[in-house]
Each structure stands twice: as C-alpha cells, then as structure tokens.
C-alpha cells in the first residue's frame, strides 16, 4: 500500500524524467487506466506548478523593486548634484523652489491632489447654498411684505369706495333738495382749509393744491367761492389761498387766534376737517413735538385722520390755532402730523413784508377760550372749508 507521500515521490521522479524506460511506461499506463491516480497527479502538478510560479513571482517582484530602486538611485545623484550646486549659489533656491518641499507641504499637496474634486464640489455646493439662502430670504421677505401692501391698497380702495358711495348719496340728496346744482365732472380731489384773515386768505396743505387747475372753496353753509393759490411752502407743506370771488365780502371776525409760540407736550388738541362731505371732529393729544423722522417743523398728534383731513386746523383747548394737519404715518397707530403754527406765522409775516394788494391782518385774540367744546365748534365750523381741487 502506497502512502500519498510515496505517490508524490513517484510523481516527482516522473516529472523530472528520472524514471527509467519500463517503469515510465508502466506509470503512464497506470495513469491512463486509473482516473483517481490521474486526478492525484493533476493536483500534484498544479500544486508544484503554483509553488514554482509563486517563487518566480516573488523573484520578479524583487527584481522590479530592485529596478525601481536602481532607477531612483540613477536619478538621485543628479538631484544631489543640483542641490550641491544650489548650495554654492543661494539664488538657485528661488529659481527652482521645487527642490525643497517641506514635509507639511508635501502632505498638503497630496491631500489637494487626492481631494480637489471633492473640495471643488463642496465649495460650489456651499456657494450655491449661500446664494439660495440669500435669495430665499429676500423672496420670503418680499412675500411677507406683499400682504400688508395689498391690505393697504385694499383698505384705501375701500375708503375711496365708501367715500364715493357716500358722495353719491349726498349728491342725490343735494339734487333732491336743490335740483339746480350739477356736480363737477373733472377729476377732483379735496382737502380741508380754514380762514387765515378776515379779508379772505385761507390756509391749507401744499399737497392738497399741488398740481391744481382751479380751486373751489366750499363752506359749511354750502356757499362756494373760487380761490387762487397765493403762496406755497413745499418744505413745511403749507399753502395760502385767496378767495377771488366778487361776491365774497369777508369772513368777519375770526374766532381763533394763531399761536406764534410752540404748544406743549400732552396738550389736548382737536381738529375739524372734511374727510367726507360733512365736517368731522377729531380729538386727541399732542404726542410729540417733532414730526415724521424727527422733523421739528411738525407736531405729532394722536388724532385719527383720514384722506381729506389735510389742511385742517389744529386747535388747543382754549381755541388757539397751533398747527395745520399735514399727513400721517402708515405703519404707526394713529400718528398724525401737523405743521407748527409758528411756521405759518413766520410765513405770513414775510408775505406781509412784501406789501401785497390785500394786506394780512392776523387775528390777535381768540373768542373760544372758556366756552365748552360744542360751543367752540359751533363758532369754528363756519371758518373751516372744503378745498376742492380740479386737475
């Protein structure tokens, strides 16, 4: 009985051609006849073949590494010689700085070579994200402010619509009462004005008569007069009108005095105006002695005002005129602004100095002090007018 090792001895002898003639023929015959033996022999050849190839592979690898080392060694002397040359003339360092790459720099270079694509992608993503965020924020802010603007315009239209229907109603009523009057057809806007002197000078806001073709003044008694702008002070939003109608005879004595000084914070103030076809009373307090964005020519008052209130008189408790209603701040609660009366006085003084055809006689003393508010208003409303402007 042969052990496996015995077989291997036989195989090796055969493979090396050490078997003599008859033994060899005998072995080959057995190999052909016995498949198990043939398989065993195949395994043996594969094993030894692989072993030898493996040895060769290791040899080759060593050889190649040797070649590589030799190649590098063949290159290095040149570098060394250049370095040696470089040491002789220090200028070469700057001429050829690649010769000395520090360890850190080499690591950095390798990192850069290995990851530049990733870093590029990351950088572009970051840039995109930043811009998308900025744009998104901007868009979001725009979208957020849109509703308030929208609400604002709607509110305005609503007011206009109510005004219009109100006006239609009044007109119908007017026509019913007095069929002779015909409403003017041209584009019109309106504000409030009040008497400045008994000779027929009126005050309103500049923005009321801005771009006016003709100006019509209508009192509480429905009397209408033609008027013309005499002077405009754009900066303080003031305008002075004069009634030019022939049938106008004068206002008579004005019930209020115009205050030349400043009013105090917290004074109770009120106004009369024409935000609609009827005169409307509004009351509040003087909440600041400066106007929109700190403009010292204006007061801030806490009176709810509406379009049409512009140019209305602002009076204190004793019935002194302390200002002219000018405008309001949209994004603040009931913050209205009025031009200080001191500016009006100064303006009138400078106008009077030019010796106009019709002189200015400002009312010096008021008649309202001490009377109750309804009595004050009763006297006052005859001197407050609708200023209708046709463009």
Partner 1 sequence: MSRGNPTSSSLTPTDDALITAIRSGDERALAHLYRLHWPMVSHFVLQNSGTEDDAQDVYQEGVMVFYEKVRDGSLELSCQIKTYLYAVCRRVWLKRLTSKSRFGVRLVDDEEHGPYLNTGAEEDLLAAEEQDRRFDTMSEALNHLGEPCRSLIEGFYLLDKSMQDLTAEFGYTNADNAKNQKYKCLVRLKKLFFTHYKEESI
Among 34, 87, 110, 228, binds partner 1 (CB under 8 A): 110
Structure tokens at 80: 């060394």
CB of 27 to partner 1, least distance (A): 16
114 is a site residue for partner 1 (CB under 8 A): yes
CB atoms within 10 A of CB 343: 19
3 or 94, CB closer to partner 1?
3
| DSSP 3-state of 289 | coil
75 or 349, CB closer to partner 1?
75
Q: Who's near 34: CB < 8 A, 6+ residues apart?
A: none
117 is a site residue for partner 1 (CB under 8 A): yes
100 is a site residue for partner 1 (CB under 8 A): no
Among 29, 32, 39, 64, binds partner 1 (CB under 8 A): 64
Among 28, 34, 43, 79, binds partner 1 (CB under 8 A): 43
67 is a site residue for partner 1 (CB under 8 A): yes
CB of 12 to partner 1, least distance (A): 8
C-alpha to C-alpha distance for 43 and 35, rounded to whole angstroms: 12
Among 32, 38, 39, 71, binds partner 1 (CB under 8 A): 71
104 is a site residue for partner 1 (CB under 8 A): no
Contact 338, 331 (CB under 8 A): no
6 or 283, CB closer to partner 1?
6
44 is a site residue for partner 1 (CB under 8 A): yes
23 or 332, CB closer to partner 1?
23
108 is a site residue for partner 1 (CB under 8 A): no
9 or 130, CB closer to partner 1?
9
C-alpha to C-alpha distance for 347 and 343, rounded to whole angstroms: 6
Residues 4-23 that bind partner 1 (CB under 8 A): 4-6, 8-9, 12
Please report, for the chain, how many H helices and E strands are present, in that order. 8, 12
CA distances from residue 188 to 7, 191, 210, 388 in whole angstroms, order as listed = 125, 10, 12, 7
- 275's enclosing H/E stretch is none
Structure tokens at 96: 């050829």
Cα first-last separation, the chain: 132
Q: Who's near 170: CB < 8 A, 6+ residues apart?
A: 277
C-alpha to C-alpha distance for 150 and 317, rounded to whole angstroms: 39
C-alpha to C-alpha distance for 257 and 388, rounded to whole angstroms: 25
27 or 390, CB closer to partner 1?
27
78 is a site residue for partner 1 (CB under 8 A): no
27 or 360, CB closer to partner 1?
27
For binding to partner 1 (CB under 8 A), which residues are involved? 4-6, 8-9, 12, 43-44, 47-48, 50-58, 60-61, 63-65, 67-68, 70-71, 74, 110, 113-118
């Amino acid at each position: 009985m042969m052990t496996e090792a015995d077989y291997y001895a036989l195989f090796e002898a055969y493979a090396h051609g050490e078997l003599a003639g008859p033994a060899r023929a005998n072995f080959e015959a057995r190999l052909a006849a016995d498949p198990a033996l043939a398989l065993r022999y195949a395994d043996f050849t594969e094993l030894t073949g692989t072993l030898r190839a493996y040895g060769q592979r290791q040899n080759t690898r060593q050889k190649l590494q040797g070649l590589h080392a030799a190649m590098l060694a063949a290159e290095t002397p040149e570098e060394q010689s250049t370095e040696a040359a470089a040491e002789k003339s220090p200028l070469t360092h700057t001429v050829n700085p690649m010769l000395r790459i520090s360890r850190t720099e080499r690591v950095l270079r390798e990192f850069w070579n290995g990851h530049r694509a990733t870093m590029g992608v990351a950088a572009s993503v970051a840039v995109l994200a930043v811009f998308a965020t900025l744009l998104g924020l901007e868009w979001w802010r725009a979208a957020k402010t849109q509703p308030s603007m929208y609400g604002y315009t709607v509110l305005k239209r609503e007011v206009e619509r109510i005004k219009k229907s109100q006006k239609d109603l009044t007109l119908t009523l007017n026509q019913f009462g007095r069929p002779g009057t015909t409403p003017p057809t041209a584009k019109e806007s309106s504000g409030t004005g009040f008497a400045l002197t008994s000779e027929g000078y009126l005050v309103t806001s500049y923005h009321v008569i801005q771009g006016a073709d003709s100006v019509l003044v209508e009192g509480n008694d429905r009397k209408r007069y033609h008027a013309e702008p005499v002077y405009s002070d754009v900066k303080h939003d003031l305008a002075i009108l004069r009634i030019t109608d022939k049938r106008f005879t004068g206002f008579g004595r004005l019930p209020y005095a115009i205050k030349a000084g400043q009013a105090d914070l917290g004074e109770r103030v009120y106004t009369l105006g024409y935000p609609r076809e009827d005169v409307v009373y509004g009351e509040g307090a003087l909440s600041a002695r400066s106007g929109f964005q700190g403009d010292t020519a204006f007061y801030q008052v806490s009176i709810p005002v509406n379009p049409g209130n512009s140019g209305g008189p602002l009076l204190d408790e004793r019935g002194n005129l302390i200002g002219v209603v000018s405008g309001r701040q949209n994004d603040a609660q009931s913050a209205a602004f009025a031009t200080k009366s001191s500016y009006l006085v100064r303006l009138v003084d400078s106008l009077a100095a030019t010796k106009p055809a019709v002189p200015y006689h400002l009312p010096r003393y008021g008649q309202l002090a001490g009377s109750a508010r309804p009595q004050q208003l009763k006297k006052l409303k005859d001197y407050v007018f609708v200023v209708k402007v046709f463009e």
